[in-house]
Amino acid sequence: MTNRAPDWLNQALHDLAQAGESREAGRHEWACFAAQQAAEKAVKALHLHLGQEAWGHVVARLLVELPASVAVPGDLVEKARVLDNFYIPARYPNSHPEGAPFEHYGPLQSEEASRYAGEIVGFVRSQMSFERRAARWDTTELPVPADLLVYTEEEWRRLGSRLVSEPAVWVTG
Structure confidence at residue 99 (pLDDT):
97
Angle between helices 28-49 and 107-127 (to 10 degrees): 10
Give the pTM: 0.77
Q: How confident is the model over 123-171, as pLDDT tens digits?
A: 999 898 765 667 667 778 888 877 676 766 665 666 665 555 555 566 6
Give just the sign of the alpha carbon dihedral 69, 70, 73, 77: negative
Dist CA 55 CA 75 (whole Å) = 22
Give me the residues of the chain with pLDDT under 70, please: 1, 130-133, 135-136, 147, 149, 151-173
Structure confidence at residue 159 (pLDDT):
61
Structure confidence at residue 169 (pLDDT):
62
Structure confidence at residue 145 (pLDDT):
78
Q: How confident is the model over 139-151, as pLDDT tens digits?
A: 788 888 776 767 6
Domain covering 5-129: architecture? Up-down Bundle (1.20)
| Number of continuous H segments (helices) and E segments (strands) in the chain | 7, 0
- Please report, for the chain, the start and end positions of each structural domain, with discontinuous segments joined by +: 5-129
Structure confidence at residue 149 (pLDDT):
67
Structure confidence at residue 98 (pLDDT):
97
Please answer whether residues 67 and 50 qualify as being in contact, where contact means their C-beta atoms are separated by less than 8 angstroms: yes
